[in-house]
Amino acid sequence: MVFSSLEYLFLYFPAVLFLYFVTPLKRRNAVLFAVSLVFYGWGEPLYVFLMLATVTVDYIFGRLVGKYRETDRRRAKAYLTAAIAVNLLILGFFKYWNFAVSVFTSLTGIAVRAVDVPLPVGISFYTFQALSYVIDVYRLDADAQKNYVAFGTYVTLFPQLIAGPIVRYRDIDRQLTERTHSAALFASGVRTFSCGLAKKVLLANAAGEIWDRISGAGETTVVGAWLGIVMFTFQIYFDFSGYSDMAIGLGKMLGFSFRENFYYPYTASSVTDFWRRWHISLSTWFREYVYIPLGGNRLGKGRQIVNLLVVWALTGLWHGASWNFVLWGLYYFLLLTLEKLVLLPVLEKLPRFVGRIYTMIAVVFGWLLFVSVDLGEGVRYLGALFGGGNAAAFLSGASAFDVVSSLGLLAVLVVAATPYPRRLLYRLWEKHDAAARILTMAGSIAALILGTAYLVNSSYNPFLYFRF
Amino acid sequence: MKQPECDREAARLLAVQMRAGGAADRVLIVLFAGFLAVLGVLFWILPDRDFSETENRSLLERPKLTAEALLDGSYTQDFAAYMADQFPARDLWIRIKAASEAAMGRMGNNGVFFGRDGTLAVRTDAPDTENLVTNLRAAAAFTSASGLPSALAVAGRTMDVLDGALPAVYGSECADALWETIREEADSAGLELIDLRTPLRTRAQAGEYVYYRTDHHWTTLGAYWGTAEILAAFGREVRPLGDYEREIASAAFFGTTWSTAGTGWIPPDTLEFFRFAEDGDYLVTVADGAGRTLEGFYDRSYLEKKDKYSAFLGGNHALVTVTKPGEERETLLVIKDSFAHAAAPFLAREYDLVLVDARYYRLRVADLIGEYGADRVLFLVNADSLTASAVWRVLPAGLE
């Protein structure tokens, strides 16, 4: 199930809220665990069992690591290694087996059977969460969770289950057993959720519609191709950050506090800065659990670059089992290394907007690589941006129309990607509390109404009677 | 570790929200939870609708819950589709969406342009010319094998004919490109093309009401002028407009384009019948299924429904014949789409008609030539039908 669906919004979620708040505090984790399994099972009926297996395995390993971590480090480490291996094997099998087979076959010519299993939704997210748990326990950053239900709640918690943010165990362990619920926090959650819903349904989907039409057409124009990739750039940001906002908002309603996952990435002044602002929970995960353990920047420049290479190859692969994601990761490895070695000091001396423009250009081309699972198509699209590829002309009436009729949307997208709306809201809130509350209430309700309208419309399919 | 800026900023914003503001917070919570819960409950308790007049299609029924369907995931997918179809006040949500697009300056919604003066037109940038080529080659093969004189009359789509339907910046470039292709392909297939776009576009520019604003069809007046072009190409003349008594059959016609666009604010079209003195003398028979006869050329029961254009010849049928009992006349085999329905009364004054729609007719079209003694063949469709599917692929069957 996804938050931006009618069955979630109007059936599942009201029922969950009801069950959750009529249940005494002590039993609320059990409710969350159960409804989270329903949430997952709705889209992945069979994989619920895989998920339960993951929860159980990591629960047991967590207990074992916790038991020996202070008395027998070697033994604790062995259990940790086993836990990591099991989690990565499951992830590897479901996500990377077929890709590995195709690479292996193309290198050696030996045919290995591919498997026909769909990818369990959210497996990359919840596997990373589970891993953060055993590692945090091993590192003494958190205590092993003795309560199976509380641990199950952590791994399966539906707000962040299928699209993040990746919540590290140590950020949330205390909240699993003691969290406070209040009307003020719930109301704040409603505001955050509504804002996320608006980003996803109103902005991301509108931008995505334009990108889909342009990238799906056999032929485009230079202007059309640019409009398309710019729209995709906005789509992926508002889609993903909107989903994170919805998760954070839902968390607040249930008494949890998740960390922010995006921080206005399109205002970044360098690619390094961009990656501190984009999908923060993932970059943090890789920094904490891969980059720093590998030695980070403490073992000299050469080693640091190797570490970066490892992290970015993995980051690319994490996004999908396909060459374009690997290349996308390496693309950022190159840019980040270049910045570390030469570019950052130069950018710092230049006016800020230069860095911002350079960053956005780098990011836009990055998204083209990201979206081009078929690399040949990606190359054709890249060509179209510069007048080659499948660009039939520089500009056509249809492309000009697309640009003109998107100007309003584009203005909204640009403003919404900056920190200004939130800062204005904060200032208003400081000075005129009542006005801020009324304004956000109206905004939240409007987002709900419009969001519903767009969701219903997406299934709207009038038959013209000449096309039965 | 130092808390990152983003978390600090979020915490600051949360802190101001956590200040005493109890009443407003509770109102927001009630509105939020109430909105979700009330619509959810309404969805459960309201009876399901079978058919949507606006969308002109059957709505989905609740899927059957079986263990198998639940496990393979098809149940939840079907349920999602069912819920969207049966969502409370479905049409209202569609209109809210359209209005919000218009408010954002989008100049269109669901693939339909918002034109001037409430004119709506489906947007088609690059239609499938492969279908066009297949259809025209099949029509040519049919024609040459039949040995009968024939012509291909192609009417425009709204975007071809009503310049006012298109945003100025979009222009007629895409439409012109398609018509250039139609001319070339008709020429290379050896078909005589009767271009109904240009003359009707000229009339539309002069302010005549030749296409509906909210539907993809031509009006009765448009069909009249279209027929005039066809008859002229056959060496006959259309009867003067003054011969007809214009009856307003409905002043509240909301067509298909209006449905697609979801534009509740756009006023309806007027649908006319052009009556002539002896139109009761014609025998109009729907030859498929039960084989009923129509009163004149119309099935007035459709005027009470949304789908009012189907009043012409009773809507889409595989085969309809028109004869004038007691008179020996030439028979015209019309291979057509629904544009021919409004034109049929005008054509019938000159010819007996055999109207066949290849999308629904499951027998050999070629056999109709002998069966009805056809003297001439007319292909009459709008440009969209030529490109939407390779509908005429089946025509040459049985002729070689």
pLDDT in tens, B51-60: 888 777 888 8
pLDDT score recorded for residue B326 = 86
- Distance from C-alpha of A28 to C-alpha of A34, rounded to nearest angstrom: 10
| pLDDT for residue A110 | 82
Same domain, B251 and B338: yes
Do B252 and B385 lie in a common domain?
Answer: yes
Are B302 and B235 in the same domain?
A: yes
Identify whether B104 is part of a domain: no
> Is the residue at B101 inside a domain?
no
Under 8 Å between Cβ of A272 and A340: yes
Claim to verify: residue A231 and residue A303 sit in the same structural domain: yes
A contacts of B14 (beta carbons < 8 Å): 185, 188
Q: What is the dihedral sign for C-alpha B188, B191, B197, B198?
A: positive
Percent over 90 (pLDDT), chain A: 54
Q: How many CB atoms lie within 10 A of CB A275?
A: 21
Residues A191, A163 share a domain: no
Do A231 and A153 share a domain, yes or no? no
* Whether pLDDT at A463 is above 60: no
B249 and B352 share one domain = yes
Interface membership of B12 toward A (CB under 8 Å): yes
The pLDDT, as a whole number, for residue A468 is: 33
Tokens 């604010």 locate to: B265
A325-381 tens-digit pLDDT: 999 999 999 999 999 989 888 888 989 899 999 999 999 999 999 998 888 888 889
Given a cut of 90, whether residue B127 has pLDDT beyond it is no
The mean per-residue pLDDT over the stretch A170-187 comes to: 89
Overall average pLDDT of the B148-160 stretch? 95
Which chain A positions have a beta carbon within 8 Å of B84's beta carbon?
Answer: 6, 455-456, 458-459
Does residue A462 carry a pLDDT above 70? no
The predicted-structure confidence for A66-77, as pLDDT tens digits, reads as follows 899 889 889 999
Q: Is the pLDDT of residue A216 over 90?
A: no
Any domain includes B107? no
Task: Determine the average pLDDT of the residues in A232-237.
Answer: 94
Q: What is the mean pLDDT of chain B?
A: 90
Question: Based on the structure, what is the number of domains in chain B?
Answer: 2
Residue B2: what pLDDT?
53
Q: Is B79 on the interface with A (CB under 8 A)?
A: yes
Are A167 and A233 in the same domain? no
Q: What is the DSSP string of B93-149?
A: HHHHHHHHHHHTT-SEETTEEE-GGG-EEE--SS--HHHHHHHHHHHHHHHHHHTS-
Residue A406 lies in a domain: yes
Residue B108 within a domain = no
In a domain, B110, yes or no: no
Residue A86 has pLDDT above 90, yes or no: yes
With respect to residue B399, please indicate whether it lies within any of the assigned structural domains: no
The residue with greater pLDDT, A394 or A466, is A394
Burial code (b: 16+ CB inside 10 Å, e: under 16) for B310-320 equals bbbbbebbbbb
Q: How confident is the model over A21-32, as pLDDT tens digits? A: 999 988 999 999
Q: Which of A179, A195, A211 is the last residue of a domain?
A: A179
| Cβ–Cβ below 8 Å for A457 and B76 | no
A127 in any annotated domain: yes
Whether the per-residue pLDDT at A232 is higher than 90: the answer is yes
User: At which of A179, A195, A221 does a domain end?
Assistant: A179
B277 touches chain A (CB under 8 A): no
Cβ B238 vs Cβ B224: under 8 Å:
yes
- Strand bridging mode B51-52 / B57-58: antiparallel
Domain co-membership, A168 together with A192? no
Q: Which chain B residues have a beta carbon less than 8 Å from that of A450?
A: 96-97, 100
pLDDT of residue A466: 33
> Is residue A467 pLDDT above 60, yes or no?
no
Q: Give B298's DSSP letter.
A: B
Residue A154 region by backbone torsions, left for phi larger than 0, else alpha for psi between -120 and 50, else beta: alpha
Provide the pLDDT confidence category of residue A14 given band limits of 50, 70 and 90.
Answer: very high
Residues B131 and B252 both lie in one domain: yes
Are A70 and A173 in the same domain? yes
Instruction: Verify that B211 and B335 share a domain, yes or no.
Output: yes
Give the pLDDT band (50/70/90) at residue A2.
confident
One domain, residues A168 and A210 = no
In this model, does residue A196 exceed pLDDT 80?
yes
pLDDT of residue A329: 94
Nearest to A30 by CA among A20, A40, A38: A20
Whole-prediction pTM value? 0.89
Whether A264 and A141 share a structural domain: no
* CB pair distance less than 8 Å for B171 and A397: yes
Residue A461 scores a pLDDT above 80: no
Q: Residue B67: its pLDDT value, please?
A: 86
- Taking the CA of residue B21 and the nearest CA in chain A, the distance in Å comes to 7
> Same domain, yes or no, for B128 and B199?
yes
- According to the model, what pLDDT value does residue B72 have? 83
**Average of per-residue pLDDT across A392-403:** 88
Using alpha carbons, select from A167, A137, A140, A147 the residue that is nearest to residue A155: A167
Same domain, A407 and A387: yes
Between chains, do B28 and A187 touch, taking CB under 8 Å as contact?
yes
The pair of structure tokens assigned to B306 is: 């949304």
pLDDT at B38: 95
User: Looking at residue A460, what is its pLDDT?
Assistant: 62
Same domain, residue pair B224 and B264: yes
Asked about A319 being catalytic, the answer comes back as yes
Contact A462 B260 (CB under 8 A): yes
H-helix or E-strand containing B283? strand B283-286
**Contact state of A397 with B76 under an 8 Å Cβ cutoff:** no
Provide the pLDDT for residue B347.
95
Of the candidates A179, A213, A236, which is a domain's last residue? A179
Evaluate whether residue A268 is within a structural domain: yes
In a shared domain, residues A82 and A219: no
Of A400, A425, A466, the CB nearest to B338: A466
Place of tokens 């360098």: A270
**Domain membership flag for residue B109:** no
DSSP state of B278: T
Residue B248 backbone phi and psi in degrees, to 5: -80, 105
Q: What is the tens place of the pLDDT at every residue in B93-115?
A: 999 999 988 888 888 888 899 98
Q: Is residue A468 part of a domain?
A: no
| Residue B212 confidence (pLDDT) above 50 | yes
pLDDT of residue B21: 67
**Backbone phi, psi, residue B334, to 5°:** -110, 115
Q: Is the domain of B124 the same as that of B201?
A: yes
Q: Which residue of chain A is at minimal alpha-carbon distance from B306? A: A465
In the DSSP assignment, the letter for residue B54 is: T
A65 part of a folded domain: yes
Which residues form the domain of B320?
A: 116-394
Which of A181, A279, A319, A432 is an active site residue? Answer: A319
For residues A290-318, average pLDDT:
90
Comparing CB atoms, the residue among B24, B43, B125 nearest residue A437 is B24
Cβ–Cβ below 8 Å for B388 and A467: yes
The C-alpha atoms of residue B279 and residue B324 are separated, in whole angstroms, by 9
pLDDT exceeds 50 at position A464: no
Q: What confidence tier does A465 reach under pLDDT thresholds 50, 70, 90?
A: very low
Task: Check whether A271 has a pLDDT greater than 60.
Answer: yes
Better pLDDT: A468 or B199: B199
| Range of the structural domain that residue A17 is part of | 6-179
Does residue A107 carry a pLDDT above 90?
A: no
User: Are A37 and A146 in a shared domain?
Assistant: yes
Residue that the structure tokens 């584009």 belong to: A410
For the record, the structure tokens of A361 come out as 């250009």
For residues A198 and A136, membership in a common domain is answered with: no
How confident is the prediction for chain A on average, in pLDDT? 89
How many domains, in total, are found in chain A? 2
Q: Does A5 touch chain B (CB under 8 A)?
A: yes
Strand pairing of B352-356 and B319-323? antiparallel
